[in-house]
A and B are shown apart, each in its own frame.
Chain A
Amino acid sequence: MNGGLITVPTTEIVSDLRKIDDQLTELYKRVAGAATNWTMPIVRALLLNLIVYARSAEEAEEAAANISEISGTHPCRAIIVDVTTPQQSSAVQSSKKQQEGCAGIITTVCGITSRGDRTLCGEIITLCLTPRADQVIGSVTPLLIGDVPVVLWIPGDIPQDDPDFESLFLMADHVLLDSRQFADLPAGLNLIPRFCPHEGAECTSADLSWASIQTWRELVAQHFDPPSMRHYLAKLQRVDVTFAGSRDVGSHPEAGVLHKYPPSAPLFLACWFMLCTGLQPRKVEHSDQGQFIIHAEQEGRSVEIRLSPTGRELPEGRIGAFVVRGGDTSDTATFIVKSVSMTEMVVTEECPGVCLPPQVLDVVPESDAALAARALDANRRDVVYEDVLKMASQVLKEIRS
């Protein structure tokens, strides 16, 4: 992936899905032909089936871009089930989909491995389907590569009462979803547990919102790696999480539009911290300033966890800072992790005695594709996420009530 993606003109319309393998073979020949000056071997590596269920032209196009990015590290056969009608599609997609007899669009995506010794290629098949369950199942199933995992990526809201989606879901070993995109967060979170309905369920799910807070969890955890800092966790005073508010409509000068619910990433971060430190949420307040205050208890003491929108220049819903204050009156310390830009974070300790100076850390901005790639690598049940999900649902229920 270090070497980046290689672009060669390798997109074709397929009119007969039964001949798709032949056409793919031809396409790869063209890749090889175009690659005569490349110095490394080209490998068609299909390590998984990645089905994207797109319900808008934007979703389909974004999916194709994400898969191209993922292919550098996770070469796969991606099948984009684009159930938009030609009328709904963007100009480019629409022109292709409207072509006489378009059954699918095939594209090869190649990336150079980090060692730079191979070019790994995968493929994207965008199906030109109209929404109809028998067509979806009948078109997707034969195209799946046998004996490798099937991952179903849901870019937006989880579909309900949708037979197309249900048929795909039944085939999946792993589901990728993104609760940051849910239009109705409480309803969406309540649907997630169905992907892992019981202990030992084979299908696992991964939430890109949860994946997006991994760096935050790591940096917060680092504050408490030295055993001498752990006692502050047992004497928490207050936790502050700030996040970028919406800028679409401003009803608050600082925060932008007031959120009905906190965005999923800061909510997950707060819930994760509460779970790890034994904080039990008791009550949630929603202030006029757009702030959410979770009143929690730790060993009989009350602790406030504040989720506050800010007007900082970060994408909507993104976490701005996580601040933990702990200790007692004679020994109080504050631990701060703060995002100062898309590529820099600062960690600070304010504690009695000698404290380390603030440290600026470079971070790589994480695209959806990078988060998805990380979720694909983990590919196992995440019990911490499941616990966080339960607590987040509980907090949202409190807000709603």
Chain B
Amino acid sequence: MVEDLQFTNLESSPNPLRRGLPREKAVMPCVFVVFGGTGDLAHRKLLPALYHLYRGGLLPRKFAILSYASGDLTDDQYRESIQESIQNFAPSMSAEGNKWEGFAQLLHHCRRTSDVAESMQRLKKRLAEIDSSVRAEGNYLFYLAVPPSAFAATAKGLHDVGLAQDPEGRAWRRLIIEKPFGTDLQSARNLNRELQSIFREEQIYRIDHYWGKETVQNILVFRFANEFVEPLLNSTYVDHIQITVAENIGVEQRGKFYDVTGALRDMVQNHLLQVTALVCMEPPPSLDPEAVRDEKTKLLRSIRRIQPEDVTEVTVRGQYAPGVFLGERVKGYREEDDVAPDSDVETYVALKLNIDNRRWHGVPIYLRTGKRLAKRVSEVAVRLRNVPQMLFDDAQASEIQPNVISLQIQPDEGISVRFQAKVPGLTLNIRPVRMDFKYGAAFAPSAPEAYERLLLDAMLGDTSLYARDGFVEAAWELVDPIIEGWQLTKMPAHSYLPGSWGPKEADDMMARDGRRWRRL
């Protein structure tokens, strides 16, 4: 340990006093700049997450938060608005007392006007003042909580006032952008090109809160820290995999966005393909962020593209109709606010994917996601093959169900295994039973909110849970031909009732393969 201390390069080496501490890496002094700091995302998610990190002592002492938005607010008014939001959206945390007062002092607001260039200059000046008062050493994190259409212009604005890079090259500058990263392959490429003309790829953090979920991260641990799992995950033992991300709510206030986006772009292109990558990728050589991201991208590139002419066989579109959900009458999609009355946008999508690599050859991956389905549930189910040699007579054999390993992502995070057991008694009766592990029953502390983990990672410079340009483009390469096929074949969005598991056509797609969806 003593020998490790390098007196010559202490500034560039890790802090030697952190060795062995739970947090071996600490966040460097910095200013967290929120573009759109008065918006919904900032109030509901970002600021509560930062406050929680502050309460946990996870933010550096030399730290500040600067909101940049159109509201003409003083710092105190901004602090009050955030206090109110925390009371409303994160009521488990007290927004009063010493902790709150300490956090409130970190909050500042800078007004954006219609004169973008002048506003940016003002932002730069304000940032410099805050930096010198908290000694942030020029480290800035820019979070673009603004519409995707403003990403490139905002990045350019930062470049024009010299904030995109530290002129001395000592401090770091990072940019976080929210999904969607483009609306198709071409727009994603354009966005990447525009951002990369200003920021280096390692400065760009593409956030998808789904990645911050504890159970999504636990897929890696479950697969690679348990010797009994990985040997089973291949075409010798796995019959197929089902990945479900179901919501029981409608589009709520997002009608305008949703009506030009649809479930395929909104959910499959990011959440479902990310989970697919984690479940099916090869083990990375290390947990180094780039190594993990390499494997995820490699897996996406191994997924066979669905040809436009095949979409009717291996994809299903659906749209929820009006109906009754748990006794309450609910609107159909076309009746939702800001949705065209004749909209054909899909609120449900089911896909069958094939992975062209040795491990997964011949193992279909079925994805489904939708709104107004029976339950809010996200799950990965790995269905193993039937036992090859049947010891039991026909009657007994008919009772034998294949093993299923299921990873429940939400709401009740856990892992379960379905296997066969003998029913106690003098005759040989076989029943499937479930062996359940529930996080809530094993670990009393609750998992951190996804945004907390992701924001902390960005401040630490850890990109593992952020999407890289190649991954985003590979995902669009898979999704674009499906959209093209839907347009080509004029494939309709089949109607389904609220509270169901989607349109009948999705069941038919499975039935054609002699399979069925899991009842969750």
Contacts and interface: CB of A to CB of B under 8 A. Distances in A.
Interface of A: 1, 43, 45, 47, 72-75, 111, 113-115, 117-118, 120, 214, 217-218, 220-222, 224-228, 230-231, 233-234, 273, 275-278, 280, 299, 347, 354, 356, 359-362, 378, 382-385, 387
A383 B4 CA distance: 14
B373 to A, nearest CB: 22
Contacts of A360: 98
A359 B19 contact: no
27 contacts: A1-B444, A74-B444, A111-B444, A113-B440, A114-B446, A118-B441, A120-B441, A120-B444, A218-B23, A221-B15, A221-B21, A222-B26, A225-B27, A225-B29, A227-B10, A227-B28, A233-B17, A275-B2, A276-B17, A277-B16, A277-B17, A278-B2, A347-B61, A356-B134, A356-B135, A384-B1, A385-B20
Chain B CB within 10 A, most for which of A73, A114, A299 = A114
B260 interface: no
Contacts of B228: none
B137 A226 contact: yes
B444 A221 contact: no
Q: How large is the interface on B (under 10, 10 to 19, 20 to 34, 35 or more residues)?
A: 35 or more
B444 A231 contact: no
Interface in B18-58: 18-23, 26-29, 57
Contacts of B328: none
A107 to B, nearest CB: 19
Nearest to B16: A276
B20 A382 contact: yes
A216 to B, nearest CB: 11
A114 B60 CA distance: 26
A221 B135 CA distance: 17
A227 B11 contact: yes
Contacts of A217: 17, 21
B12 A45 contact: no
A293 B2 CA distance: 21
A273 B19 CA distance: 11
Interface string B1-13: 1100101001111
Given A362-B98, A383-B20, A113 B134 contact: no
A276 B21 contact: no
B103 to A, nearest CB: 12
Contacts of B133: 354
A114 B441 contact: no
Contact of A1 (B99, B134, B445): B445
B226 interface: no
- Ranked nearest first, the 10 interchain pairs of A and B with the lowest CB-CB distance are A384-B20, A221-B17, A230-B10, A227-B11, A73-B444, A234-B7, A115-B446, A278-B5, A225-B26, A43-B441
B135 A354 contact: yes
Contacts of A234: 7, 10
B11 A231 contact: yes
B444 A356 contact: no
Nearest to B134: A356
B221 interface: no
Nearest to A73: B444
B435 interface: no
A117 B440 contact: yes
A299 B11 CA distance: 18
Nearest to A299: B7
Contacts of A114: 444-446
A372 to B, nearest CB: 14
Contacts of B7: 234, 278, 299
Contacts of A218: 21, 23, 57
Contacts of B102: 359
Given A227-B10, A227-B11, 5 more contacts: A217-B17, A221-B21, A225-B29, A227-B28, A227-B137
A276 B312 CA distance: 64
B15 A224 contact: yes
B395 interface: no
Nearest to B3: A278
Given A227-B11, A230-B10, A276 B440 contact: no
Highest count of chain B CB atoms <10 Å: which of A1, A234, A280? A234
A154 B475 CA distance: 55
Interface string B429-452: 000000000001110111000000
A214 B21 contact: yes
A277 B3 CA distance: 10
